[in-house]
Amino acid sequence: GENVEQHPSTLSVQEGDSAVIKCTYSDSASNYFPWYKQELGKRPQLIIDIRSNVGEKKDQRIAVTLNKTAKHFSLHITETQPEDSAVYFCAATSGGYQKVTFGIGTKLQVIP
């Protein structure tokens, strides 16, 4: 089955700096890669996603890049703000019924 590795597990940045979270996946047939943000005690919420036919996608301060050859994808947050502090999960979707496999999560702390 699919295996998704995510790093770092924790990340602290100063407000205004950029944050980068990286993930690798094992199944070359994976074709959809969502990123979720989960605040303490709340449900995961989709913040951005990318499909396998696209190399990069941007939404305001958030961008995701995908390298299919290397089987890795990354989340980039620019001009970080304290409200960006949360746990971020990457995921990869594969298989006939599009099973979603999540990474272990990255706890991001933005220091004011």
Partner 1 sequence: EAEVAQSPRYKITEKSQAVAFWCDPISGHATLYWYRQILGQGPELLVQFQDESVVDDSQLPKDRFSAERLKGVDSTLKIQPAELGDSAMYLCASSSSGALYEQYFGPGTRLTVT
**51 makes contact with partner 1 (CB under 8 A):** yes
Which two tokens mark 46? 């989709």
**3 makes contact with partner 1 (CB under 8 A):** no
The interface mask with partner 1, positions 76-95, x = CB under 8 A, is -------------x-x-x-x
Which two tokens mark 12? 């602290």
Q: Which is nearer to partner 1, 80 or 93 (CB)?
A: 93
* Least Å from the CB of residue 74 to partner 1: 17
**105 makes contact with partner 1 (CB under 8 A):** yes
CB-CB neighbours of 33 under 10 Å: 25
CB-CB neighbours of 31 under 10 Å: 14
CB-CB neighbours of 109 under 10 Å: 14
Round to whole Å and give the CA distance between 77 and 108: 11
**8 makes contact with partner 1 (CB under 8 A):** no
Residues 10-39 that bind partner 1 (CB under 8 A): 31-32, 34
**44 makes contact with partner 1 (CB under 8 A):** yes
Secondary-structure breakdown of the chain: helix, strand, coil percentages, each rounded to the nearest 5 = 5, 60, 40
Which two tokens mark 83? 């409200």
Contact residues for partner 1, defined by CB under 8 A: 1, 6, 31-32, 34, 42-46, 49, 51, 89, 91, 93, 95, 97-105
